[in-house]
């Protein structure tokens, strides 16, 4: 201890400890120790404050830089996502149900015959009008044939003459044969008489045949029904001229057998293989809107018409109640068996380019895959195609510029994101995108300040 410190301590006032108990007396060391200097503690506090300020400044700077970098990344990612075109996808619908094919058809009678006249004359009377039910052999009209009657009279006269000549020839031949036994005539003369008798017999046969032919023609003066049916047309009246040749003249009557009806339907070539003999069909007629008629495929033409590219199909329908009329129009409903390889997609999904028809599908990593398909049937708003699998994601309305391998944002046909796709995981809801854009713009303004 220095002299100055000793003097200072000696001059210092004694602490007031008198009167205090021994336990309250301060220790000697405390009473005699040096007191701390405030000037030595000031530099330490200022250094700590500076260090804290530096650390706070670094933290603020790091937070601002990292926030700006994060905002830049979000803006870049959002811009990239917006650059990927969104597409709506649909799932091909399998044609697992029976398809209905409706085509126009024509109703025809089971049998139908136009009856023409075979003899020349004039209609003397007609006995059946349209709508009359007739049986085979019933007389429909009677034709007056004066020329034919005259021809028959002449033919009968010729027959009578021929018979007389034959009788004379036979008598002459018999006489000459009897004279031949007495050598009064030569054998040559007898043979000539026998030949003349045979010639006369031939003339009689010819005349008889002519009479029979004319009488047969006379039988056609009665116009009769060829089979059981209904008279559908009558084109004659009393006094009408009937020509025997029937060239360029309508039939006198038309008789139709309507116990069963034939229906003829031209079927497009694409459905020709689906229709088989014995298949059932349903008929709809405009005059009976609340009733359906059953029909069965009887046969087909087994040939495609080159002009219309259709197959003529013939159906048969019972007509016990007589409601089906010849010449009627009908809508024929065919039930086509399902094709498990055929799927239905919207017509807007088809791509028609220089190649075969295609559809755009979404493959791995939401990349476009163009697939060739075959159009089986055009339904207007939808198309039945083959060449797809049931788990494909088909672009419902692809743009014309869509290309193989192009990345897209997958959405369903209603505009909602499809769950499970990588593009959907990166995409956001429209509200979130707007909020993110506003946050990004605000961040840019903050950085600009």
Give the 3-state secondary structure of the chain: CCHHHHHHHHHCCCCCCCCCCHHHCCCHHHHHCCCCCHHHHHHHHHHHHHHHHHHHHHHHHHHHHHHHHHHHHHHHHHHHHHHCCEEEEECCEECCCCEEEEEEEEEEEEEEEEECCCCCEEEEEECCCCCCEECCCCEEEEEECHHHHHHHHHHHHHHHHHHHHHHHHHHHHHHHHHHHCCCCCCHHHHHHHHHHHHHHHHHHHHHHHHHHHHHHHHHCCEEECCCCEEEEEECCCCCCEECCCCCCCCCCEEEEEEEEEEEEEEEEHHHHHHCCCCCEEEEEECCEEEEEEEEEEEEEEEEECCCCCEEEEEEEEECCCCCCCCCCEEEEEEEECCCCCEEEEEHHHEECCCCCCEEEEECHHHEEEEEECEEEEECCCEEEEECCCCCCCEECCCCCCCCCCCECEEEECCCCECCCCHHHHHCCCHHHHHHHHHHHHHHHHHHHC
Residue 188 has pLDDT above 60, yes or no: yes
Mean pLDDT of 333-356: 85
Q: Any long-range contacts for 277-280 (C-beta under 8 Å, 24+ apart)?
A: 279/334, 279/335, 280/335
Return the number of other C-beta atoms located less than 10 Å from residue 335's C-beta: 13
**Residue 338: pLDDT over 90:** no
Q: Are the C-beta atoms of 151 and 133 separated by less than 8 Å? A: no
What mean pLDDT do residues 275-298 have?
93
- Predicted confidence (pLDDT) at residue 270 exceeds the cutoff of 70: yes
380 versus 220: the higher-pLDDT residue is 220
What is the distance between the alpha carbons of residues 252 and 7, in angstroms, rounded to a whole number?
169
Q: What is the mean pLDDT of residues 385-414?
A: 82
> CB neighbours (10 Å) of residue 319?
19
Residue 176 is predicted with a pLDDT of: 81
Round the average pLDDT of the chain to a whole number and report it: 80
Contact 365, 422 (CB under 8 A): yes
And the tokens for 336? 């086509």
What pLDDT does residue 3 have?
Answer: 44
Q: Give the pLDDT confidence score for residue 40 in this predicted structure.
A: 53
Q: What is the pLDDT of residue 79?
A: 65
* Of 399, 405, 369, 401, residue with least CA distance to 387: 369
Token representation of residue 183:
């050598």
Q: CB atoms < 10 A from the CB of 359, how many?
A: 25
Task: Please tell me the predicted confidence (pLDDT) of residue 293.
Answer: 95
- Is the pLDDT at 271 greater than 60? The verdict is yes
Residue 197 confidence (pLDDT) above 80:
yes
Above 60 in pLDDT, residue 307? yes
Q: What is residue 434's predicted lDDT score, i.e. its pLDDT?
A: 43
Check pLDDT > 50 for residue 435.
no
Q: Is the pLDDT of residue 426 over 60?
A: no
192 pLDDT above the threshold of 90: no
Amino acid 185: pLDDT: 79
- Higher-scoring residue by pLDDT: 435, 199: 199
Highest mean pLDDT among 9-13, 31-35, 223-227, 273-277: 223-227
pLDDT at position 267: 94
Per the model's pLDDT, the better-predicted residue between 47 and 366 turns out to be: 366
Given a cut of 60, is residue 425 above it in pLDDT?
A: no
Higher per-residue confidence, 353 vs 109: 109
pLDDT per residue over 50-105, tens digit each?
778 778 778 777 777 777 777 667 766 666 566 677 888 888 888 767 778 899 99
> What pLDDT score was predicted for residue 303?
93
With cut-offs at 50, 70 and 90, classify the pLDDT of residue 226: very high
Query: Which residues are CB-contacts of 190 (< 8 A; sequence separation ≥ 6)?
Result: 173, 176, 177, 179, 180
Task: Please tell me which residue, 75 or 315, carries the higher pLDDT value.
Answer: 315
């Amino acid at each position: 201890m220095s002299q100055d410190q000793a003097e200072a301590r000696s001059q210092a006032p004694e602490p007031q400890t008198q009167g205090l108990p021994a336990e309250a007396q301060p220790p000697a060391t405390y009473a005699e120790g040096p007191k701390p200097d405030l000037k030595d503690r000031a530099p330490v506090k200022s250094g700590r404050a500076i260090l804290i300020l530096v650390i706070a400044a670094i933290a603020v700077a790091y937070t601002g830089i990292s926030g700006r970098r994060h905002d830049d990344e979000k803006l870049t990612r959002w811009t990239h996502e917006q650059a990927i075109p969104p597409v709506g996808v649909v799932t091909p619908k399998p044609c697992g149900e029976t398809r209905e094919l409706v085509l126009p058809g024509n109703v025809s009678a089971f049998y139908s015959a136009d009856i023409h006249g075979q003899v020349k004359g004039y209609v003397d009377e007609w006995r059946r009008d349209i709508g009359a039910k007739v049986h085979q052999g019933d007389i429909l009209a009677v034709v007056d044939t004066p020329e034919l009657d005259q021809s028959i009279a002449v033919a009968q006269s010729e027959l009578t003459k021929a018979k007389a000549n034959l009788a004379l020839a036979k008598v002459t031949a018999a006489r000459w044969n009897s004279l031949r036994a007495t050598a009064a005539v030569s054998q040559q003369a007898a043979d000539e008489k026998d030949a003349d008798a045979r010639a006369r017999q031939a003339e009689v046969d010819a005349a008889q045949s002519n009479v029979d032919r004319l009488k047969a023609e006379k039988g056609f003066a009665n116009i009769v029904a060829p089979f059981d049916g209904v008279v559908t047309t009558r084109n004659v009246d009393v006094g009408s001229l009937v020509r025997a040749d029937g060239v360029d003249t309508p039939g006198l009557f038309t008789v139709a057998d309507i116990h069963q009806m034939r229906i003829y339907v031209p079927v497009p070539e694409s459905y020709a293989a689906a229709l088989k003999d014995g298949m059932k069909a349903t008929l709809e007629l405009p005059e009976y809107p609340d009733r359906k008629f059953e029909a069965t495929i009887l046969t087909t033409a087994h040939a495609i018409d080159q002009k219309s590219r259709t197959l003529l199909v013939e159906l048969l329908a019972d007509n016990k109640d007589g409601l089906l009329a010849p010449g009627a129009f009908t809508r024929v409903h065919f039930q086509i068996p399902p094709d498990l390889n055929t799927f239905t997609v919207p017509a807007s999904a088809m791509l028609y380019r220089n190649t075969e028809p295609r559809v755009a599908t979404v493959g791995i990593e939401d990349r476009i895959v163009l697939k060739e398909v075959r159009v089986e049937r055009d339904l207007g708003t939808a198309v039945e195609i083959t060449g797809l699998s049931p788990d494909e994601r088909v672009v419902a309305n692809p743009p014309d510029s869509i290309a193989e391998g192009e990345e897209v944002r997958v959405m369903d046909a209603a505009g909602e994101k499809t769950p499970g796709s990588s593009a959907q995981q990166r995409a956001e809801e429209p509200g979130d995108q707007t909020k993110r854009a506003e946050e990004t713009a605000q961040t840019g303004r903050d950085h600009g300040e």
